[in-house]
Structure 1
Amino acid sequence: MVLAQDEDHGNKHVDLAPSIYRQRLVIEGRRELPIGDKDIQEYLSQLSDVCGMTLLIDPVTHRSDRFGWAGWVHWETSGAHFYAWESPLVFFSVDIYTCLAFEPSTAVSFTKSYFDATHITSKAF
């Protein structure tokens, strides 16, 4: 096995599988009201349609007493994770990873609207 090591400690990304399409989007936001499991399940189901993805299983959620709600959805072309905090502030973070192209701005607009977010930010890569 050959391991590649970046001389600048991670500032340079090397695409180890250029023949495999990958797209990622992180969306983070704040809102007034806490987010519960039903909100997460419905959001991830609708996000699937918004991004043009095929669901393989219904969204799954779990609550940590320490950190709050989390959810995940499995798509035929990868999936998305959702994390929701209630403390120290109401905050959410969505990680989308796919092997099928989708429009990031559509996912961000949908997320902002769905959660009535007071603040939202995103990064596509």
Structure 2
Amino acid sequence: MLDFKDLAPAITRQRMVVEGYPTFVITDEHIKDYLSRLSVVTDMVTLIEPVTHVSELYGWAGWVHWETSGAHFYSWERPLSFFSVDIYTCKPFDPQAVLDFTREYFRTTELVAKEF
């Protein structure tokens, strides 16, 4: 694997992946609501309302476009109830606030996260 060199240190970039097991089936409306509220939690300016799409093979996906980048959401019902959120911003946000909000929103049985 190649070493990662920061090619643009003058540009703020913050990334975070959050994954977990929800205690309910995630729907289109949950995804839109979660991404809208995530925008508030991270203090991001929303450019378009969250959009979603469902694949019969892979489940739900959603995206919100922020002035300072955006977030993607993925949800599966099978082979297990699981979600993954990818956040990429050019403006700093509080990772602990994202974790607390996500844990509470989905009433998770387990939640993990990684920043990079």
Q: What TM-score does the superposition give when structure 1 sets the normalisation length? A: 0.91
More strand by share: 2
Q: Runs of 5+ in structure 1 lacking a partner? A: 1-8
For the Cα contact (< 8 Å) 2:18–2:99, is it kept in 1?
yes
CA distance, structure 2, for counterparts of residue 42 and residue 118 of structure 1: 20
Tell me the matched-pair count. 116
Residue 105 (str. 1) matches residue 112 (str. 2)? no
Highest RCO, 1 vs 2 (Cα 8 Å, sep ≥ 6): 2
Residue 18 of structure 1 deviates from its aligned partner by 1.1
User: Corresponding residue for 2:57?
Assistant: 66
Matched, 1:95 2:57: no
Q: Distance in 1 between matches of 2:102 and 2:54?
A: 21
| Higher Rg of the two aligned structures | 1
State which of 16, 19, 29 in structure 1 corresponds to 2:20.
Answer: 29
Provide runs of 4+ in structure 1 moved above 4 Å. Answer: none
Partner of 2:4: 13
Residues 40-74 of structure 1 show CA distances to partners (whole Å, capped at 9, x for unaligned) of: 00000000000000000000000000000000000
| RMSD of aligned Cα (Å) | 0.7
Moved more, 109-118 or 31-40: 31-40
Residue 5 of structure 1 corresponds to which residue in structure 2? none
